[in-house]
A and B are shown apart, each in its own frame.
Chain A
Amino acid sequence: MGRYFSLSAASLLLASGSAGAQTSTQSALESAGAEAQQIEMLFWVMLSGGTVIWLGVVGLLLHSALVNRRRLAEKSASSIILWGGVVFPSVTLCALLAYALWLMPGLRPFAQASPAALRIEVTGRQFWWEVVYHPPLGPPVASANEIRLPVGERVELTLKSADVIHSFWIPPLGGKMDMIPGRTNRLSIMATKAGLFRGPCAEYCGTSHALMALSAVAMAPEAFRSWLAAQAIPAEGAGASGGALFLRHGCGSCHVVAGTDARGLIGPDLSHIGSRATVAAGILPNTEDAVASFIARSDLIKPGSRMPAFDMLPPDDIRAIAAWLRGLR
């Protein structure tokens, strides 16, 4: 059973990739954010320097062990310790440290100087992400498992946790920041290129830690603003027929779907699930098959998750619910 479902999940993902859907990247080496770019640069500098140093040290080591046949005087040998072990590393490390410390304030600037126009509150939960947008004007907008942000604008993230420690990390945009119960961490990010990125939970958080990821979509500012405005109101499909099944089978006791009686606060907000890039916190493609299989066997697809498996429901009902959810755009 487990084999079947995990394979099917994998093949679904593959299918979505080849079907021409936008593919996401998770690499820190394909930077698309202000912080990630600077850090990538820092990395290439350190890598080049490190390679030269390694070749030098190992070359010297091999020379002294295998080639050298003339006994060096003790005094010259001591000066090798001084120059190689003390002077050279001190100078190199000071330079490197100066470079890194100079970078730091610019990478994560906060508040006073330039208050970010948009604040997004992300709360980590086993094993998904609760997302609330706080635009400068208008009411907060709730979502889950996906953040969207305008290219070229700084966004302030407020990071919290509702249960255990998680860590927020979208490698192409920047470094990570932990989400710690009882604490509120802040992170400032700025996407410099449009694209779809994937961010895994980066702090081990329990059984399905590996199955907790976040989609990040960087889009043109105008497109972002109209998208956010659309998110603030119920989806058009909310009134369609599958909604009755959704409520009848009790899904509404854990999930919110705006415009319906579903007001549960235990699971992710599904108001606009149809418009998201992935479902089940970044592990399944947003297709009807995938949504249906997750409803039926969430226990196998995401072990330890609080979502119960609904495989006792008639398959047709599951289909209908999945189709309805897909329509919530």
Chain B
Amino acid sequence: MSAAVKERSPEEYKAQEQRLRAVWANPTGWRYWTSVNNYQIGLWYGSAAFAFMLFAGVLALLMRLQLAVPDNDFLSADLFNQAFTLHGTVMMFLFAVPIFEAVAIFLLPPMLGAREMPFPRLGAFSFWSFLLGGIFVCGSIFFNAAPSAGWFMYPPLATDKEFSGIGADIWLLGLSFIEVASIAAAVELIVGIMKCRAPGMRINLMPLFAWYLLIVAGMILFAFPPLIAGDLLFEMERMFDWPFFDAARGGDPLLWQHLFWIFGHPEVYIIFLPAIALMAMIVPTFSQRPIVGYSWIVLAAVGTGFLSFGLWVHHMFATGLPQISLAFFSAASEAVAIPTGVQIFVFIATMLAGRVIFSTPMLFGTGGLAIFVIGGLTGVMVALAPFDWQAHDTYFVVAHLHYVLIGGMLFPVVAGLYYYYPLIDAKKLSDGLGRLAFWLMFCGFNIAFFPMHLNGLRGMPRRVFTYPAEIGWNWLNLISTAGAFIFAAGVLVVVFDVLRPKHRQPRGEFNPWNAGTLEWISEPEENWGVRSIPIVRSRYPLWDQKDLARKVNEGRYYLPDAEEGWREGLVTTVLDAEPVQVLRVGGTSHVTIVSALSLGGAFIALTFHWWIATALAAIICFCAVIYWLWTGTGEIPEKPEKDVGLGLSLPLYASGSDSVGWWAMFITMVGDGTAFASLVFGYFFYWTIHANFTAGIAGPDAVWSLVAASLFAAAWGLMVAARTVNRRGATATMRGLLVLSLLTTVAASATGLAAPLSPGMDPTRHVYPAIVWILVIWVLAHAALGTVMQAYCLARSLAGRLTPKHDLDLGNVVLYWHFLLIAAVTTFAIIGLFPAAM
């Protein structure tokens, strides 16, 4: 190695450092907000999520005041219902999930020895979408227009306009928008963790936090799309009266419950696992030794992720499903306790094998675990169908879920805040205030929530705005309210500790906890993540690799310079992290804000049925995204390769599965395919619940369906051919094939449209035509997007930005077409042939 590193003069070193700093610098003034750097995005994301948490916390306090005494009228029934709906919604969608995306965007690049996330602008887009959607949803309560049907939005209460007003639309559209942001962040996290690790950081050397985030991002990818599919059905019912959940016209309210909980249960683990990930970073540091049972904990986390998708029915034990299903889902729900137990015992084992330095982060961590274990044990109880018949929808469950989420998520997050704060500010938070906050929160929490177990068993249902005096819940409710305020005081102490001015406090030392992982190299003063990208040979490189920090900061590893003025990082292989490419990522830009705000505008305008505004905002968003892609992706570099230091030269361009863009497309389409699969699930769900599925309504024409499927297959074949001939250099043929494929797609869409149109299927009449139409619309919308992509590739080729050697765009579009082909053939085969085959 040393032979390859030329000794540099101090001037040369300074010049390198200055160039690097200039490239990564944040814009100043108001343009600061156009920054896309992972530190800024992570901080903004996290602060916004925390602010939403405080807002939802205030709603909780208002509810506790209302419930402090029986027959209270502090809040009206309607306002109380809005408050509990928003409390749950905000805590889940605007705090618990985003806070981890925030922490991950902030921490992952330095932890993996990367300079940035692979798609910084996507991260910024995700943040701005989240902020706008969050403000829209939260703000509704100030206009007395917040959703009030519960965070689970069960139809028909939430679908029927007689029972629910605009609040339901605000919930659906506002949150759909945020779910899109979450999926965008998940795509970025997965690609970042798989492809952007420091050279040598093989997958089994990866910090546990990265493992957990990889699992969680994967779960988001499979859990959110069913909800998005559900939202689509839901909004079609609300806006256009398609009867997906209307029993009178063949719909079924239970389909929503299935789709919601297929999302909703993994959601719990999406929230919980990253918190355990923070613990998995904190515990080894304060035990001053590597984690015991690295493979155990990784396997347990993967197992939890898998199992969490098989538990959703335990939210539906009282819906009257057959006992055999109840037994199966009871068993599956019990099983998930085992990997959870393994994770807790990994921490205990690590502490036993080390010597624990007990500090504020450990206080919050162990306190949180003590609370969480109670939540886990009550979880084992409610997982059994018979006990759940009593406990379901009572305050017992309210207590259970808060023990799980506050013990398993909020306490570890605060532990993480105290642990990682030096990376934000180079200073520690106050130990004294931390301890005070802990004891207030710990005692307040237990005083508030423990009595709820008893109240629930004494028959107090959830979501009641008041209760009569003589049932015997009065004292326990009053105690809960007092506890809630003590808990809130503890949270306020944390907020104060973070916000109090610290300029008099001297800059803290480097790596103040003597941690072993790479993120502690990064300096809060610098935006570049790591001064140079190191070679990693250990799970705890700062403990095991002598002088690593010094050498990194002296720029002795990869990419210590930014001579061409680009923000650059390394792309490495998935398993072994061998460097394969230099990735140039997008820098500061306003296009992310424009596209996020216009997309948000479209969703908001749609809520109020302002069709023209919706169309305008959608067009602006479309143009912004095209501009973003055209100017910021698939750039052809000025030279094929670049010297990255240490005698290594790497290509600047990659396409196909070597490129991060291909991976992002693949991952996005897996999510998209999951949403499609959820709609197909809906089709067969209706088939199973009805003896006469079609209700005597004439189905789509089989011939039209088969022609449509064949034309889509032909269009796909032409796309694949276009890519192949392009690689051979036949640019003109490629353009011709693209045009041909585009025309075939249009023809395929027209025939696809004719399939349900020719027998005159009316989607408002019965659920059968409605579910057929939604599948067709899904395919046609994707086909429309497909034609845009074809036109884009054509334009890129004509502009000389897509060449035989630089075919990233075309490769990604062909990948999109693989998925489109599957969706189209599946759809037309099902709608055209299945009714006849029955």
Contacts and interface: CB of A to CB of B under 8 A. Distances in A.
B76 interface: yes
B349 A81 contact: yes
A200 B461 contact: yes
Interface in B443-461: 457-459, 461
B374 interface: yes
Interface string B717-730: 00000000000000
B352 A164 contact: no
Contacts of B341: 84-86, 88-89
Question: Which of B323, B358, B459 has the most chain A CB within a 10 Å cutoff?
Answer: B459
Contact of B457 (A43, A53, A89, A202): A43
A194 interface: no
Given A77-B349, A97-B384, A210 B78 contact: no
A204 B147 CA distance: 14
A208 interface: yes
B327 A104 contact: yes
B338 A65 contact: no
B386 A39 contact: yes
B50 to A, nearest CB: 27
A71 B350 CA distance: 10
B459 A96 contact: no
B393 A84 contact: no
Interface in B612-644: none
Interface stretch (A26-34, A228-236, A251-259, A320-328): A26-34
A303 B385 contact: no
Nearest to B290: A74
A245 to B, nearest CB: 30
B388 interface: yes
B380 interface: yes
Interface in B69-100: 70-71, 73, 76-78, 81
Interface in B122-159: 148-150, 154, 156-157
B344 interface: yes
B70 A10 contact: yes
Contact of B346 (A81, A185, A202): A81
B156 A163 contact: yes
A64 B344 CA distance: 12
Given A69-B355, A86-B342, A165-B154, A182 B247 contact: yes
Interface in B142-182: 148-150, 154, 156-157, 160, 163
A167 B397 CA distance: 16
B353 A71 contact: yes
B386 A54 contact: no
Contacts of A27: 457-459, 472
A313 interface: no
B353 A178 contact: no
Contact of A182 (B73, B248, B462): B248
Contacts of B73: 2-3, 6
A10 B358 contact: no
A175 B341 CA distance: 29
B389 A78 contact: no
B330 A97 contact: yes
Contacts of A182: 247-248, 251-253
Contact of A202 (B157, B251, B289, B392): B392
Given A50-B378, A93-B335, A97-B330, A64 B348 contact: yes
Interface in B284-317: 289, 292-293, 296, 300
A72 B253 contact: no
Given A26-B458, A100-B386, A207-B78, A77 B350 contact: yes
B470 A183 contact: no
A61 B459 contact: no
B353 A77 contact: yes
B15 interface: no
Interface stretch (B188-196, B365-373, B579-587, B603-611): B365-373
Contacts of B386: 35, 38-39, 42, 100, 103-104, 107, 175
B647 interface: no
B296 A85 contact: yes
A23 B470 contact: yes
A68 B344 contact: no
Contacts of A186: 320
B346 to A, nearest CB: 6
Interface residues of B, number: 91
A111 interface: no
B163 A206 contact: yes
Interface string A8-36: 01100110010000010111110000011
A181 B318 contact: no
A46 B470 contact: no
Contacts of A61: 347-348, 351, 366, 369-370
Contact of B156 (A36, A80, A96, A164): A164
Interface in B439-486: 457-459, 461-472
Contacts of B381: 43, 46, 50
B319 A89 contact: no
Nearest to A94: B334
A113 interface: no
B682 to A, nearest CB: 16
Contact of A39 (B296, B334, B387, B470): B387
A15 B466 CA distance: 19
A212 B471 CA distance: 14
A17 B157 CA distance: 34
A180 B338 CA distance: 34
A122 interface: no
B254 interface: yes
A66 interface: yes
A60 B326 CA distance: 34
B781 interface: no
B296 A14 contact: no
Contacts of A23: 470
Contacts of B393: 167, 176, 202-204
Interface in A199-228: 200-211
A65 B363 CA distance: 10
B572 interface: no
Question: Which of B78, B154, B352, B458 has the most chain A CB within a 10 Å cutoff?
Answer: B352
Nearest to B157: A164
B768 to A, nearest CB: 15
A43 B377 CA distance: 12
Given A65-B351, A167-B393, A201 B461 contact: yes
B390 interface: yes
Contact of A42 (B319, B344, B387): B387
Contact of B345 (A54, A84, A200): A84
A93 B338 contact: yes
B345 A46 contact: no
Nearest to A64: B351
B505 to A, nearest CB: 28
A73 interface: yes
Q: Give the 4 A-B CB pairs with smallest separation, nearest first.
A: A175-B389, A182-B247, A26-B459, A210-B464
Interface of B: 70-71, 73, 76-78, 81, 148-150, 154, 156-157, 160, 163, 247-248, 251-254, 289, 292-293, 296, 300, 318-320, 323, 326-327, 330-331, 334-335, 337-338, 341-356, 358, 362, 366, 369-370, 373-374, 377-378, 380-381, 384-394, 457-459, 461-472
18 contacts: A6-B71, A14-B469, A39-B390, A46-B377, A54-B377, A64-B352, A78-B296, A78-B349, A81-B296, A159-B320, A164-B154, A171-B458, A176-B393, A178-B318, A183-B254, A206-B157, A206-B163, A210-B461
Given A61-B366, A65-B356, A77-B292, 4 more contacts: A42-B384, A71-B355, A90-B338, A105-B323
Interface of A: 2-3, 6-7, 9-10, 13-14, 17, 23, 25-29, 35-36, 38-39, 42-43, 46, 50, 53-54, 57-58, 60-62, 64-66, 68-69, 71-74, 76-78, 80-81, 84-86, 88-90, 93, 96-97, 100-101, 103-105, 107-108, 126, 159, 163-165, 167, 169, 171, 174-178, 180-183, 185-186, 198, 200-211, 283, 303-304
